[in-house]
Amino acid sequence: MNENASVKNPVNLRLPDGSVRTFDGPVTGTTLASVIGPGLLKAALAIKVGGELWDLNREIEADADVSIITKRDDDGLELMRHDAAHIMAEAVQELFPGTQVTIGPVIEDGFFYDFARDKPFTEEDLEVIEKRMHEIVKRDENIIREVWDRDDAVAYFKKIGELYKAELIEAIPAGELVTIYRQGEWLDLCRGPHLPSTGKLGDAFKLMKVAGAYWRGDSKNAMLTRIYGTCWRDKKELKAYLLRLEEAAKRDHRKLGREMDLFHLQEEAQGSVFWHPQGYTIWLALEKYIRTRLQGAGYREVKTPQVLDSKFWEQSGHWAKFRENMFVVPDEVPNTEEDGPVLSGDAKLMALKPMNCPAHVQIFKQGIKSYRDLPIRFAEFGCCHRNEAHGALHGLMRVRQMTQDDAHIFCREDQVTEESVAFCALLASVYKDLGFPEFQVKLATRPEMRAGSDEVWDKAEGALEAALKAANLEFEYAPGEGAFYGPKLEFHLSDAIGRTWQCGTLQTDFVLPERLDASYIGEDGNKHRPVMLHRAILGTLERFIGIMIEHYAGKMPLWMAPTQVAVAPITSEADEYAQNVADRLSALGMRVNTDLRNEKINYKVREHSHAKVPVILVVGMREAEEGKVSMRRLGSNENKVMTLDEAAVQLSAEATMPTGN
RNA sequence: GCUGCUGUAGCUCAGGGGUAGAGCACUCCCUUGGUAAGGGAGAGGCCGGGAGUUCAAAUCUCCCCAGCAGCACCA
């Protein structure tokens, strides 16, 4: 051995407070923590070395800026969640030998782990697994990092029957080293880092649910069984989280839709909404609003056929790619005889439109368009049908019959950026009006299966990115997630429990105008292809209303509320006056409901509050004699007595639809 | 479509091999009451659908359907 190897260089570690600790050789985070104090040693989970998270027991050999990570740090909590996943895997393999492990990442609020097992886990198994996890925490097994040769690791995991793990390691380039973490008898391939021992996890975790998930996210692969868990710093945080989930469930639009009598769904028309008067009132208010905004932005509204010949969809490319999700209609008079099949099977096929673009192109193609006419913006509240997979349906969020606030902008190539910027601004303004100043933006780029040349895609993606930058919107890329005819911007909003849903979209398309042969006459007298921008702000009225119901927890802004005001007399002697109050407000265009039932005022207030009516006007003989009303706002228990005139002015002003200012 | 779970009155749910239960809602009566449940009476269900086991099925078994959670998909 080289003599010099034993000569140690001093290591200087600088702490966040600027102080420096010097050691006469390589040192671990554990040692550092113990030098600083026993309290910190106990709390320490990992160490950050030059911005990188390391295991506490890994030796630091060179000078570095360091900080000890405890569960107070977000990094610490993330480590705990990661370890919770490992500990769950250890528990599962102890309890259910023969189960293979795959991957187990940290997610928002928790973690999951995907297992391969002949018999999927059930909810009942969760209790047992969770109990075993607590035992593993109690055992306080040391978690040890080991560096293995990649090929050795593959061989090892194959030998013990962990074929998925072996496959994962095989994806790592040959000759590279891999890290293995060992806790007790159990070990797993992992990049790390990890807690120093299982005991550091604590007890603030809970297994939440089991679900299926495809290996590597591909439905052609085997289905694994995934167990989701949540993990927090302490019991108090865990409890708060569970409470938060409970509260969020109360805002579920499906529940509120029933409670507020807005809409319903039923088996005979799965995925298609029955809008009730109250719900359709919200719809009409929203539609009116968006129509006004579109008119102000130079759009012209059109209406196109519901059923179109399949040759259209063949031309557009949708038939090839989406036929299995289209409702096909044979163009045939059904057999009315008692016997024989109803349909012959050889009729010409038509289809309910799954989107509006080809129809809008047909309108564009009528007559000859000049470059001077562009841009042309056709808007349609287009009712579309898509035969979505059963498992995809979800209340108003994912339906089979949907109405898009769709529009197509036909423009010259040099107008694409300007139009895109204008669209982004319009969308941001609409979202703000509707109560969503914040939203997520994604730029979805070319998918594997696509139409059009790479050159065209370069142009299309470039235009969208330029628009985002010009509109000063932050965004992230969604590689490979574009439509088959072009890249798209996706504007996402979240529901009550944090699931995100795409609402608005902007798609540049150089392909469909070509396929459907749309052209305009340019300045040079020659035919040119217009660029088509597909765009929707709300996406579908169904989904957007669903999101709004959850966002507002049913307490819609006054201008959208199905019933804006309930007038409730205290005694039947005030009925006539109550009716006068209601008539006065109705004349101002407000949606008013009088409650003349033989019930106590407490009862009426309670009921209208539950129905989320924004304003209750209580009138008794006192008010009737003085021409006043007692106004009670939803969510407040204050009552303001004012004259009917004051109330009328105040409420009708407040019920005015926003206009983007 | 895939995996798991669920399906009993309008709603929320209990029950569980022997003729179906509660609360709220609904109808009627009493009550005219001042800001989140006044009192009484009544009506309401082939226990998601179909097949099977059994003397007997809402209950057990199988097959469908739908819903829920997640995955896959999302023009």
Residue A152 predicted with pLDDT over 70: yes
Closest CA to A115 of A186, A177, A62, A164: A164
* Averaged pLDDT, A316-322: 92
The answer, yes or no, to whether ipTM is higher than 0.90 is yes
- A492 is annotated as an active-site residue: no
- Give the model's pLDDT for residue A89: 97
- A373 is annotated as an active-site residue: no
Which of residues A336 and A248 earns the better pLDDT score? Answer: A248
* Averaged pLDDT, A442-454: 91
* Averaged pLDDT, A194-214: 95
Q: What residue is closest to B3 (Cα–C1')?
A: A212
- A604 is annotated as an active-site residue: no
- A291 is annotated as an active-site residue: no
Residue A109 has which token pair?
């609020």
Residue A195 predicted with pLDDT over 90: yes
* Averaged pLDDT, A142-171: 94
- Give the model's pLDDT for residue A590: 97
Tens of pLDDT, residue by residue over A457-502, are 998 899 899 889 888 899 999 999 999 889 999 999 999 999 999 9
Q: Which of A357, A411, A424, A503 is catalytic?
A: A357
- Give the model's pLDDT for residue A3: 45
Distance in Å from B5's C1' to A227's CA comes to: 14
Chain B bases near protein CB atoms (7 A cut-off): 1-5, 11-12, 30-38, 65-75
- Give the model's pLDDT for residue A192: 83
Q: Which of A165, A360, A386, A398 is catalytic?
A: A386
Quick check: helix, strand or coil at residue A103? Answer: coil
- Give the model's pLDDT for residue A340: 79
Residue A1 predicted with pLDDT over 60: no
* Averaged pLDDT, A281-298: 98
A621: CB partners within 8 A, 6+ apart: A570, A571, A573, A574
- Give the model's pLDDT for residue A7: 62
pTM of the model: 0.94
**Contact (CB, 8 A) for A242 and A206:** yes
Nucleotide nearest to A608 (CA to C1'): B36
* Averaged pLDDT, A150-163: 94
Query: Residue A6 — very low, low, confident or very high, per pLDDT cuts 50/70/90?
Result: low
Alpha-carbon span A279 to A272, nearest angstrom: 14
Residue A536 predicted with pLDDT over 70: yes
* Averaged pLDDT, A267-272: 92
Distance in Å from B74's C1' to A496's CA comes to: 21
* Averaged pLDDT, A45-54: 94
Alpha-carbon span A282 to A629, nearest angstrom: 26
Write down the residue that tokens 């807005």 correspond to.
A262
Q: Give kind and range of the element (H or E) at residue A401.
A: strand A401-411
Query: Residue A2 — very low, low, confident or very high, per pLDDT cuts 50/70/90?
Result: very low
Average pLDDT, chain A: 94
Tens of pLDDT, residue by residue over A390-434, are 999 999 999 999 999 999 999 999 999 999 999 999 999 999 999
